[in-house]
Amino acid sequence: MRTKLHLPKDRVDYARQLAQRITAPVAAFIDNHSSVTVERASLRLAGADGANADGVPVANLVVDQIRAADPALLEDGALRRYVNALVKTGEGVDGLNAKLAQGFDLMSLALGEPAAIEDKAAQLVEASASRIKDNRAHRDRKLEEFRDRNSKPLLYLIVATGNIYEDVKQAKAAAEQGADVIAVIRTTAQSLLDYVPFGPTTEGFGGTYATQENFRIMRAALDEVCEKQKRYILLTNYASGLCMPEIAAMGALERLDMMLNDSMYGILFRDINMYRTFVDQKFSRMINAYAGIIINTGEDNYLTTSDAFEKAYTVLASQFLNEQFGFRAGLPAKLQGLGHAFEMDPTIKNGFLYELSQAQMAREIFPEHPLKYMPPTKFMSGDVFKGYAMNTLFNFVSKATNQGIHLLGMLTEAVHTPFMMDRYLAVENAKYVMNSMEDFYDDVEFRKDGIIVRRAHDVLTQTINFMEEVEAIGMFDSIERGLFAEVKRPKDGGKGFEGLIKKGPGYFNPFEDYLARELGLS
């Protein structure tokens, strides 16, 4: 990529080296641990589906039964007991799931021959992998068939009614108006549930429950629009929170295309334990990598608690770190939608130039990444005319810096279910701006001594200084001290800490082993 900001390559390389060194101790911790949701995600990939009469998912029932018998047994992994039950009972996964939902205790069965368990597990891995590969192949075929029919950047719109069937109506209308990506916002606080609800849902608040059946319903609806519009409509949900890897597994099985997936978001803004969620993040990203799902990271959220001008360097630092965590999970650059946002106070003189600088800097440092660019939210005005002008400037910056995923700004920002007219106006604004400046990126250069270039150099320098401090302190201690987003989180506190599991010498997870081999991690 031709540089416009003249960033020194050796300094960018040094920042990446710092990110590698910062993430290495975290990666070592991750590789020695599992969690209850990693185990449940593996069970779901094996076919553990359904729920009992009280709505407790079968995957949770299995983990809870093992833990009730002896918590130390989870150090060997939950799959061993589930697969053992398949072998001992002679049931298929559907039959065993039904029995478990009716109260059958798989811990009543003695462990059988290891070879029989391993052979059966290999069959389950192959069946799941085949389904995910077929989903990825279908997506690739449609993207090739409808090549160049989607916008550049991809126009991303949300639906959030709480009712999956109403979401379908809004999603189809938004896609027909021109949206390329539909994101189904999760119901408020689902990230804090340590289970995934079962079946279709109609009573979410501020969003719709992420369930496998809701994924299937929305995917089928958007596929209808794909054929009608001759564009591939990408479906997005949230592989974050206490069930991060489980939702990634469901998304892979139901052909979702993007997943919001960032442990730092959960740590800082949902008070989820840092150890637990870093472990969860890696396995979820391995699943996403294998399924060809683009992750979206949450750096934009830093700017809701920190000043976007003063703390811009924390966004860039987090992008460097997220990149390394992604690589360590087998995610190539093309599947990393690193996040940032147009969030500076609009009263800042030359604020537009600083926003342009930040966005161009991200584009040049991460040239192969489908960057996820977020609209103004923190300073959005109740004056819809001013808000429309702010979104127009945001649209301009996004196109001018060649972003990859463009989240459309809404007139009624902060209202959970924006009106359909807001979506229509958001799409029309973006289409007008982006069409009128189609080749702007290739036609414009910046003065070497100008505001835009100087700002980028300053932020890079601040980022390196910050990352040197993080390396000296350590990632976990840096989070505890509030270096990121000015939010402090204790290492042994937060939600879900009790669900962390140290792997024992006999740990058995053939799905993790398979993914590691396929992704070149082992």
The one catalytic residue among 372, 399, 495, 503: 372
The one catalytic residue among 195, 238, 265, 302: 265
The answer to whether 265 is a known catalytic residue is yes
- Provide the 8-state DSSP code for 239: -
C-alpha 413/C-alpha 63 separation (Å) is: 40
Q: Hey, what long-range contacts does 185-190 have (CB within 8 A, 24 or more apart)?
A: 185/158, 185/159, 185/160, 185/238, 185/416, 186/210, 186/237, 186/238, 187/162, 190/238, 190/241
The one catalytic residue among 300, 302, 311, 422: 300
C-alpha 339/C-alpha 337 separation (Å) is: 6
The answer to whether 386 is a known catalytic residue is no
The DSSP-derived string for 244-261 is: HHHHHHHHHHTT--EEE-
Q: Name the helix (H) or strand (E) containing 181.
A: strand 181-184
C-alpha 517/C-alpha 522 separation (Å) is: 5
The answer to whether 165 is a known catalytic residue is no
C-alpha 380/C-alpha 342 separation (Å) is: 11
SS3 127: helix
C-alpha 402/C-alpha 400 separation (Å) is: 6
- Exposed (0-12), middle (13-18) or buried (19+): which is 442, by Cβ within 10 Å? exposed
Give catalytic residues, as residue numbers.
265, 300, 372
